[in-house]
Amino acid sequence: MASKLLRAVILGPPGSGKGTVCERIAQNFGLQHLSSGHLLRENLKTGTEVGDVAKQYLEKGLLVPDHVITRLMMSELETRSAQHWLLDGFPRTLVQAEALDGICDVDLVISLNIP
Which tens digits make up the pLDDT trace of 26-82? 999 999 999 999 999 999 999 999 999 999 999 999 999 999 999 999 999 999 989
- 69-78 pLDDT, tens per residue? 999 999 999 9
Please give the tally of structural domains in the chain.
1
Structural domain including 43 reads 7-111
In a domain, 1, yes or no: no
Whole-number average pLDDT of the chain: 92
DSSP 8-state class, residue 7: E
Predicted TM-score (pTM) of this structure = 0.87
* Beta-carbon count within 10 A of 49 CB: 10
- Residue 85: beta bridge partners? 7, 32
Angle, vertex CA 20, rays to CA 75 and CA 85, nearest 5 = 35
The pLDDT of residue 4 is: 83
- Judge residue 23's burial from the number of C-beta atoms within 10 Å of its C-beta, 0-12 exposed, 13-18 middle, 19 or more buried: middle
- Tell me: pLDDT of 1 over 70: no
In a domain, 15, yes or no: yes
In angstroms, the CA 43 to CA 53 distance is 10
